[in-house]
């Protein structure tokens, strides 16, 4: 049985989308620039850079764009190249790009056993654009294939009058209710839930779906993590346009892993120094075990609906594994070394935040000067 070695969150550099959901974080942040995806390296080069030998084992990739992930024509070949390396992958999509879905489903059945689709269920936009039938047909095609899938609904106020419609359609067509995600208000200086409801009433609406995903994300929203985190060692963020990686969302880019496929990848854990207000995408990272001291549901437990048979046996087994089954924990000596290495970086971050500008040059000089 395959076990997960690492998780790679892959950013697809596209902001074009055929939908305009008002709760979309890209629209909220005014980043919908209608930018086509530009890839500096070929899919074949990406594949050579992402071998099991280089990554240490079988990994799980999540392909997700700021716009619709499956619009770029290169996506089918990128999917193919990752699968050729023996990895598993998730494709986050609004489920309406039929041509690309058909191209992916034409890949060998044995490879499709390692493909997971995360269908974002934008119900009102689908109705508005007369794409609901297309969406349903595409999800059902995936359901009939060797692939696995999740149906995910972002809970926001516009859906409140039609929650029963959404449940009935999902149950009728896909065998189960959707999993539910909490929606953030990205326009507020401090992260909040995007709703006009009280927090209690918003949570009650989400709870009616009996969604493990919703239960988990609401428990971890805005909870600052201080435990030792293996992001950077067991997982990282990869810009598929440039090949640049970083340990996690709140970290800086560290290395181009596409340029020289023979160069070693530098894996180093974040440790206890998380710079994010909470674990963004905790349902990915934390459920896969990036903080091994925490007991969490598995990735599959948060997304599968057993009554709908959304997961194949292969995918269910793989996404029920955790990083600690394939990776050793850091020794005390390794943790001490990491603390020493990270001190200058942490000191400079504190300086930027709290120290008057005229003292920053002195601090920089004292701690080595190279960490700007």
Q: Which domains does the chain have, with CATH numbers?
A: 6-325 (3.20.20), 332-366 (no CATH)
Q: Of 101, 88, 93, 80, nearest to 60 (Cα)?
A: 88
Q: Quick one: CA dihedral 263, 14, 127, 208, positive or negative? A: positive
Q: What is the mean pLDDT of the chain?
A: 90
What pLDDT does residue 29 have?
Answer: 52
- Tell me what the mean pLDDT of segment 286-304 comes to: 97
- Tell me what the mean pLDDT of segment 114-119 comes to: 98
Instruction: Give residue 358's pLDDT band: very low, low, confident or very high (50, 70, 90).
Output: low
Q: How far is CA 336 from CA 1, 224, 226, 234, 318, in A?
A: 35, 22, 16, 18, 33
Instruction: Give residue 131's pLDDT band: very low, low, confident or very high (50, 70, 90).
Output: very high
What pLDDT does residue 345 have?
Answer: 55
Please give the model's pTM, rounded to 2 decimal places.
0.89
235 versus 1: the higher-pLDDT residue is: 235
Contact 84, 47 (CB under 8 A): yes
Provide the 10 A C-beta neighbour count for residue 262. 7
User: Does the pLDDT at position 220 exceed 70?
Assistant: yes
- Tell me what the mean pLDDT of segment 109-123 comes to: 97
- Bridge pairing between strands 6-12 and 235-239: parallel
Dump pLDDT digits (tens) for 178-187.
999 988 876 6
User: Does the pLDDT at position 362 exceed 60?
Assistant: no
Strand ranges (DSSP E) for the chain?
6-12, 59-65, 88-93, 115-120, 148-155, 179-182, 184-185, 192-193, 235-239, 244-246, 253-256
Window from 13-22, 153-162, 347-356 with minimum mean pLDDT = 347-356
How far out from the chain centre does Cα 325 lie? Answer: 21
N-to-C CA span, the chain: 45
User: Does the pLDDT at position 22 exceed 90?
Assistant: no
- Tell me what the mean pLDDT of segment 340-360 comes to: 55
- Cβ neighbors of 39 (< 8 A, separation 6 or more) are 13, 72, 74, 240, 241
- Tell me what the mean pLDDT of segment 247-264 comes to: 94
Dump pLDDT digits (tens) for 305-325.
999 999 999 999 999 999 999
Quote the CA–CA distance of 74 and 100 in Å, as a whole number. Answer: 10
What pLDDT does residue 116 have?
Answer: 98
User: Does the pLDDT at position 353 exceed 70?
Assistant: no
> What letter would DSSP give residue 179?
E
Provide the 10 A C-beta neighbour count for residue 304. 25
Dump pLDDT digits (tens) for 140-179.
999 999 999 999 999 999 999 999 999 999 999 999 999 9
């Amino acid at each position: 049985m395959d076990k997960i070695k690492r998780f790679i969150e892959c950013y697809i550099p596209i902001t074009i989308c055929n939908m305009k959901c008002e709760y979309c974080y890209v629209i909220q942040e005014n980043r919908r620039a209608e930018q086509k995806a530009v890839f500096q390296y070929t899919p074949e080069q990406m594949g050579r850079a992402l071998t099991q030998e280089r990554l240490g084992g079988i990994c799980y990739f999540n392909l997700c764009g700021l716009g619709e992930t499956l619009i770029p024509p290169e996506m089918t070949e990128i999917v193919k190249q990752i699968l050729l390396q023996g990895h598993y992958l998730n494709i986050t999509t609004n489920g309406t790009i039929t041509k690309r879905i058909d191209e992916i489903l034409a890949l060998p059945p044995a490879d499709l056993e390692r493909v997971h689709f995360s269908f974002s269920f934008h119900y009102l936009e689908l109705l508005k654009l007369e794409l609901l039938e297309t969406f349903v047909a595409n999800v059902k095609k995936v359901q009939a294939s060797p692939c696995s899938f999740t149906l995910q609904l972002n809970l926001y106020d516009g859906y409140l009058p039609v929650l029963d419609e959404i449940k009935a359609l999902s149950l009728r067509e896909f065998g189960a209710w959707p999993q539910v995600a909490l929606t953030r208000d990205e326009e507020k200086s401090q992260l909040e839930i995007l709703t006009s409801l009280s927090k209690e009433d918003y949570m009650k609406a989400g709870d009616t779906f009996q969604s493990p995903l919703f239960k988990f994300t609401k428990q971890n929203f805005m909870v600052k993590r201080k435990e030792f985190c293996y992001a950077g060692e067991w997982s990282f963020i990869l810009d598929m346009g440039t090949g640049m990686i970083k340990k996690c969302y709140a970290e800086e880019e560290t290395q181009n892993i596409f340029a020289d496929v023979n160069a070693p990848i530098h894996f180093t854990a974040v440790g206890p120094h998380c710079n994010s207000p909470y674990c963004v995408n905790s349902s990915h990272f934390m459920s896969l075990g990036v903080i091994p001291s925490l007991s969490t549901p598995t990735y599959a437990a948060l997304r599968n609906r057993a009554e709908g048979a959304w997961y194949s046996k292969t995918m269910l087994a793989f996404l029920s594994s955790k990083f600690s089954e394939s990776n050793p924990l850091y020794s005390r000596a390794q943790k001490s070394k990491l603390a020493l290495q990270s001190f200058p970086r942490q000191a400079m971050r504190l300086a930027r935040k709290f120290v008057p500008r005229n003292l920053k040059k002195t601090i920089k000089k004292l701690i080595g000067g190279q960490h700007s």
